Structure 1
Amino acid sequence: MDTLTSGESEKLAHELRGDLITAADPRYDEARKVWNGDIDRHPLLIARCVDVADVTAAVTFASRRGLPIAVRGGGHSVAGQGVCDGGLVIDLSRMRAVQIDPEHRLAHVQGGALWQDVDRNSQAHGLATTGGIVSETGVGGLALGGGIGHLMRRCGLTVDNLVEADLVTADGTRLRVDADKDPELLWGLRGGGGNFGTVVRFGFRLHEIGPTVLAGMIIYPLDVAPAFLAHYRDLVADAPDELGTILNLRLCPPVEAVPERLHGSPIVAVNVCWSGDHEDGLAFLRPLREFGRPLLDTVGPMPYVELQQMVDRTSPPGKEYYWRSVDFGELSDQVITTVVEHASRITSPLAAVPIYHLGGAIGRVPATDTAFGSRHAGHNINMFGAWEPGRGDRERHVSWVRDFSEAMAPHSVGQYVNFLNDEGSDGVRAAYGERWRRLVALKRRVDPQNLFRYNFNIDPGRLDEGDT
């Protein structure tokens, strides 16, 4: 459906406590923007919901008319999943409340909340759960696809801490799911993305973390990257769960924590989070910090909420982004050579090559407990292309990402669903692997018309030989 009568849209507008924005509204172009400036989609309607009743009304409206639905939380998906062409956007950005139950160590989080909302409220009680590494990331998108972050090796992924959820399914039904009420749907929500409805409330398990952690960054010039990465590999091979690290190869960004003399220079950096005893952390990190002569070392006691905001300015909204990712095992000599070679050809000061150290608690969760894959990968690499809009050189940046991705493909042991981009249905199926058929069965039950398809889509109508 490409059009609606004014009477139809007016009917929905009257049902909502929030706003309904159409293409004729002067707010329309701003309302349809998402973080990735490379995305330019035109929905028929944008429903800015303020409560569950609004969400239910919007979903029911779309369902009856066969309109595809995109759900916008933080709008931070590189694939632009928070906006659609010719459909209805359910914008949850006015639903950001967070309630902490310190006695039971639970966070009750509305579907439009950002991770900064969760961190600020949970840290008031000395509690936290694994969240994103950019504080403006939406809780919903990250949590439903997996959820990697600084605490994942100690606390598990975000999906491992998702214990309950309230959602509105494609037929307008409101459901509460947990381990006792529809455990199969909870399983699907824990890694299956936004395929099964609009989640209006998440319930997350919290852990005693902070309010201060041992954190910061250590920066070396890129020309020592081969030796430094081998040194890092040997150190973190037996790292305790309390250590979270993210490598990054890029041109040094102009952030306040870094002296201006380093801005724009090619670097290899490691962002550190030690969530255990600080003295133990300092002892363990000493060999990493004493390798050669670092250009900068800011490791020290830091508020956890400050760590969660440390790289916010390196990926500002409105720039254009394109990326690929690969899960791999060991940071072998061959992988190091490939990474350094391609990072040395980086095409933009905005681009980056983050490498996330996995393992720890992630690998101890049984593979069948969640829809998330790659439980036994050692690392994830994100080939993060980014550039200024309007320069006319998009293909140069995209080609760098694709060439890098192809070079890493022989080392791949899987893919992180949230880091997919334009790999299409085959890429989504490959990322889920053996979980695919179970996810399809669940999708057929709760969204057989595939209204929720602006996500890493589990197509309920896709049948291959041997599927039932």
Structure 2
Amino acid sequence: MTRTHVSLQQNFAGIVLTQGDPGYDDAREIFNAMIDRRPAVIAQCRTVEDVKAALAYGQREGLDIAVRSGGHSVAGASVIDGGLVVDLRLMNEVSVDTDARTATVAGGATWADVDRACQPHGLATVGGRVSSTGVAGLTLGGGSGWFERKFGLASDALISVDLVTADGREVTASAEENPDLFWALHGGGGNFGVATRFVFALQPLPVTAFALLLWLPETARTLLRTYRDMVDRGLPLDLGGGMAYLTGPPLPFVPDELQGRRLIGMIATYAGSEAEMRSAIAPLLALNPVASMIAELPYTEIQSALDDPPGFRNYWSAQHLAALSDEAIDVFIAQGEAMLVPSPSQHLILPWGGAVADHAENWPQPHRSAAWVVHPFGLWEDPADDDYVISWARNAVAGLQPYSTGAVYLNFIGNEGEDRIVSGFGRDNYDRLTRVKAEYDPANVFRLNHNIKPWTP
């Protein structure tokens, strides 16, 4: 460690790592194996004072600053070559107030930390569909999850957020305190400061069920039209999930001859019993899946059911649809047939509406009015497949553009240019966000993200 970096370690409760230190390589690894960056310094913070010290140090030394919670940014926003990473993962405490039905969550916690704390009390809040995802990144970007149609996005449950700004101020944002900042944090991401504490409202969720139904891909058109018609007639808000092209998984209920094959499936969750779920998905069960698993499972197990180990290469994107026409279904099917198999990739289509749409006018997230979301989710191992999978995901989005609302949920995409960032908020919202940015981060210190540039006169 250089003498300069030693100066950060003084009075620092956490751990300071530089290249060559034990643990450095593990600390710089993130979920997307395509990202291989070497920070000059990784500051693993234990306290808010550590966060303030790291930010001051980084700016004093002229270093680009990345902020890491879970490390699931597909573009690798949580790690930077030659810069400083403010790593919050040691700050992962979660406490639950059962009387108030709230959870207080430190800025480095993952959704697994939150789910484990809430489960014994039969309480929950909407979190990511992969339990190792960081609470901070997902929530500040909006927060899509299994039970969003019933409870809204993760950010809808926010009561307050504590931030450390670039100049070291400690700021709380809530409906009563700094309300413009609170508004901006519902989708504006990590543009305004380092989030060190969240307070969430919790919902009762004592019984939950999960289903994975699989069919041969030849049935896709009938399946998707049936599912679309179920949604149009009024799908119960207790039912979450959607349809996906995927590779037949090596699970006991999947026949050997289907494992490793291209299949189309329904991944479903239910805020209630197995019997209630079976009733809700009866039209799809009548189409005779070739393999199925339906069971009541604890919310913690549902949240981790799709967890993939780190080490895969990732490229994701998304398109939000105003409606799901027969023509859009045909495009989706063609895209699913082009997906790399075998691989952990998935090509998902999810219905929105319900509580997601209820708050469409309240926050800077115009995509919330969409009826459907299509999500090409590329995961693969061999770098030789990079061009194919990235082109597949981009083509999937481009092919559905004629049916798009024009808005996009930024947590689902990587670096796709400034126009896509503006479309994630809408022009009026983006302009308002630039003014909030100018108040809390006028020098644009927090820019390694879907960046909102500070307003200038």
TM-score tier after normalising by the smaller chain length: over 0.9
Paired position in structure 2 for 1:319: 312
CA positional deviation for 1:68: 2.2
- Residue 124, structure 1, aligned to residue 120, structure 2: yes
The one-character-per-residue Cα deviations of 1:96-143 (angstroms, maximum 9, x if unpaired) are 110001111111011111111111111111100100111111111111
Report SS of the residue matched to 1:415. Answer: coil
The one-character-per-residue Cα deviations of 1:337-371 (angstroms, maximum 9, x if unpaired) are 0011111111242221022221101111141x222
Paired position in structure 2 for 1:160: 156
Counterpart residue type for residue 326 of structure 1: Q
Contact 1:383–1:401 (Cα < 8 Å) also in 2:
yes
Q: Given the alignment, which residue of 364, 372, 381 partners 1:388?
A: 381
Paired position in structure 2 for 1:423: 416
- Mark the runs of 5 or more structure 2 residues left unpaired by the alignment: none
- Residue 92, structure 1, aligned to residue 71, structure 2: no
How far apart, CA to CA, are the structure 2 residues paired with 1:417 and 1:294? 34
How far apart, CA to CA, are the structure 2 residues paired with 1:404 and 1:377? 17
- Residue 444, structure 1, aligned to residue 438, structure 2: yes
CA positional deviation for 1:259: 4.1
Paired position in structure 1 for 2:394: 402
Q: How does 1:87-236 map to 2 (within 5 A)?
A: 87-210=83-206, 212-236=207-231
- Residue 362, structure 1, aligned to residue 356, structure 2: yes
Contact 1:252–1:266 (Cα < 8 Å) also in 2:
yes
CA positional deviation for 1:425: 2.0
Paired position in structure 1 for 2:336: 343
TM-score under structure 2 normalisation?
A: 0.95
Contact 1:216–1:307 (Cα < 8 Å) also in 2:
no
Counterpart residue type for residue 355 of structure 2: A
Q: Given the alignment, which residue of 291, 297, 302 partners 1:296?
A: 291
CA positional deviation for 1:406: 1.2
| Pair 153,73 (structure 1): closer, same or farther in 2 beyond 3 Å | same
CA positional deviation for 1:279: 4.4
How far apart, CA to CA, are the structure 2 residues paired with 1:373 and 1:204? 23
Contact 2:375–2:412 (Cα < 8 Å) also in 1:
yes
Counterpart residue type for residue 235 of structure 1: M
Farther off after superposition, 36-45 or 56-65: 56-65
Q: Given the alignment, which residue of 71, 76, 86 partners 1:75?
A: 71
Report SS of the residue matched to 1:344. Answer: helix
Report SS of the residue matched to 1:428. Answer: helix
How far apart, CA to CA, are the structure 1 residues paired with 2:254 and 2:91? 35
Report SS of the residue matched to 1:194. Answer: coil
Counterpart residue type for residue 112 of structure 2: Q
Paired position in structure 2 for 1:271: 267
CA positional deviation for 1:154: 0.7
CA positional deviation for 1:373: 2.6
CA positional deviation for 1:23: 2.0
The one-character-per-residue Cα deviations of 1:173-208 (angstroms, maximum 9, x if unpaired) are 111221111011111111100111110111111000
| Pair 84,274 (structure 1): closer, same or farther in 2 beyond 3 Å | same
How far apart, CA to CA, are the structure 2 residues paired with 1:363 and 1:59? 37
TM-score under structure 1 normalisation?
A: 0.93
How far apart, CA to CA, are the structure 2 residues paired with 1:252 and 1:329? 30
How far apart, CA to CA, are the structure 1 residues paired with 2:198 and 2:273? 30
Report SS of the residue matched to 2:130. Answer: coil
Paired position in structure 2 for 1:305: 300
Counterpart residue type for residue 350 of structure 1: P
Question: How many pairs align?
Answer: 453
How far apart, CA to CA, are the structure 2 residues paired with 1:33 and 1:229? 38
CA positional deviation for 1:65: 3.4
CA positional deviation for 1:153: 0.6
| Pair 442,257 (structure 1): closer, same or farther in 2 beyond 3 Å | farther
| Pair 65,406 (structure 1): closer, same or farther in 2 beyond 3 Å | same
How far apart, CA to CA, are the structure 2 residues paired with 1:30 and 1:388? 19
CA positional deviation for 1:89: 0.4
Report SS of the residue matched to 2:121. Answer: coil
Paired position in structure 1 for 2:425: 432
Farther off after superposition, 129-138 or 419-428: 419-428
How far apart, CA to CA, are the structure 1 residues paired with 2:217 and 2:360? 38
Please tell me the root mean square deviation across aligned C-alpha atoms, in Å.
1.7
How far apart, CA to CA, are the structure 2 residues paired with 1:386 and 1:279? 34
Contact 2:17–2:23 (Cα < 8 Å) also in 1:
yes
The one-character-per-residue Cα deviations of 1:30-88 (angstroms, maximum 9, x if unpaired) are 22111000112222110011111111111122233342211111111111111012221
How far apart, CA to CA, are the structure 2 residues paired with 1:300 and 1:197? 42
Report SS of the residue matched to 2:418. Answer: helix
Counterpart residue type for residue 344 of structure 1: E
CA positional deviation for 1:400: 1.4
How far apart, CA to CA, are the structure 2 residues paired with 1:167 and 1:255? 43
Query: Where in structure 1 do 4 or more consecutive aligned residues deviate above 6 Å?
Result: none
How far apart, CA to CA, are the structure 2 residues paired with 1:201 and 1:257? 41
| Pair 50,63 (structure 1): closer, same or farther in 2 beyond 3 Å | same
Contact 2:240–2:269 (Cα < 8 Å) also in 1:
yes
Paired position in structure 1 for 2:452: 458
Counterpart residue type for residue 437 of structure 2: K
Report SS of the residue matched to 2:161. Answer: strand
- Residue 286, structure 1, aligned to residue 282, structure 2: yes
How far apart, CA to CA, are the structure 2 residues paired with 1:12 and 1:415? 39
How far apart, CA to CA, are the structure 1 residues paired with 2:210 and 2:108? 28
Paired position in structure 2 for 1:246: 242
The one-character-per-residue Cα deviations of 1:383-420 (angstroms, maximum 9, x if unpaired) are 1222214x423112211122222111111112111012
How far apart, CA to CA, are the structure 1 residues paired with 2:35 and 2:255? 33
